């Protein structure tokens, strides 16, 4: 008998003769499968903790970035609003500490005065005026001439003492900065106390429409009242200095020297 046939007969006999008792063993009360002992998986725990740590660091980084990118934390309650007109016109809102909350350009020339690389928010009014005057001189809005440059300022506030304090400070600071640059200057204010609340509101609404400060629009309206051949569209792009030159022509008897209808300037 060949070896292969012999092995085949043995295998066949084994399968047929050996009883299949696996089902009986499983059904026995004594049969049980021991629980598999769980091994301590250091890598799994380490990776899980590492994931949590990285997520926490990521969230913390986002929070810190948001805080830093939002600029310094300052009191954001507006105590006063300042407008400065040369021909560039800008508006500055301040808190009780005379710190800048926001600064915006009123017209396209005003955009040139606001250096986008400088974060004005949180700066003192003192430092802000230094930057603005330096930029106005650099860009040629302040000129060298025998005549004075004229800067028109306006301050609005619900508190009279704040309004007066900021006005006086602006006049002194602007005059000081111009003196450093050896420039002739007058700082002026247009007195609008005779306006009613409704008239003041209308002035503000109209000034927004024409991209003018209320103070400059009021000055333009004074010219139009004296000579109705002028219009806001004709006058709005003129510098404050040019507007006062027209006023002096129309009203030669009016004393436009500092301290009359205007605020004090460089005497």
pLDDT at site 28: 62
Sheet with 149-156, strands from edge to edge, namely 100-105, 89-94, 80-85, 149-156, 185-188
Asked whether the predicted pLDDT for residue 107 surpasses 80, the reply is yes
What is the rounded average pLDDT of the residues 82-100? 96
Region of poorest pLDDT, from 28-32, 220-224, 254-258: 254-258
Angle, helix 160-180 to helix 125-138, in steps of 10 degrees? 40
pLDDT at site 263: 39
Residues 114-139: tens digit of each pLDDT: 977 788 999 999 999 999 999 999 99
CA atoms within 13 A on the CB side of 146: 0
Cα–Cα distance for residue pair 251/233, rounded to 1 Å: 21
Averaged pLDDT of the chain = 81
Residues 170-201: tens digit of each pLDDT: 999 999 999 999 898 899 999 898 899 999 99
pLDDT at site 259: 39
Rounded to 10 degrees, the C-alpha dihedral 246/252/253/259 comes to: 50
User: Which segments of the chain does DSSP mark as H helices, in order?
Assistant: 3-17, 22-27, 42-69, 108-113, 125-138, 160-180, 197-209, 214-226, 232-235, 240-250
Higher pLDDT pick, 76 / 94: 94
* Percent of the chain with pLDDT strictly greater than 90: 58
pLDDT at site 252: 87
Cβ proximity of 94 and 73 under 8 Å: no
């Amino acid at each position: 008998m060949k070896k292969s046939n012999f092995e085949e007969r043995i295998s066949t006999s084994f399968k047929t003769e050996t009883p299949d008792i696996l089902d009986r063993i499983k059904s026995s009360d004594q049969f049980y499968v021991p629980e598999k002992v769980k091994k301590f998986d250091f890598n799994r725990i380490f990776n899980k903790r590492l994931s949590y740590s990285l997520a926490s660091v990521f969230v913390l980084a986002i929070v810190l970035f948001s805080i830093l990118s939002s600029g310094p934390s300052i009191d954001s309650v507006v105590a006063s609003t300042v407008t400065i007109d040369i021909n560039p016109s800008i508006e500055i809102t301040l808190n009780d500490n005379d710190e800048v909350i926001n600064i915006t350009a009123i017209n396209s020339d005003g955009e040139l005065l606001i250096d986008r690389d400088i974060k004005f928010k949180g700066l003192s009014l003192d430092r802000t005026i230094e930057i603005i005057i330096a930029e106005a001189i650099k860009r040629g809005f302040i000129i060298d001439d025998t005549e004075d440059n004229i800067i028109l300022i306006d301050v609005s506030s619900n508190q009279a003492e704040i309004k007066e304090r900021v006005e006086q400070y602006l006049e002194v600071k602007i005059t000081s900065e111009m003196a450093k640059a050896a420039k002739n200057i007058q700082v002026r204010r247009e007195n609008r106390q005779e306006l009613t609340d409704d008239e003041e509101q209308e002035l503000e609404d109209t000034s927004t429409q024409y991209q003018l400060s209320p103070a400059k629009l009021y000055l333009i309206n004074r010219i139009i009242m004296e000579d109705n051949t002028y219009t806001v569209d004709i006058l709005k792009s003129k510098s404050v200095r040019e507007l006062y030159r027209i006023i002096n022509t129309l009203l030669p008897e009016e004393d436009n020297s500092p301290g009359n209808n205007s605020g004090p300037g460089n005497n």
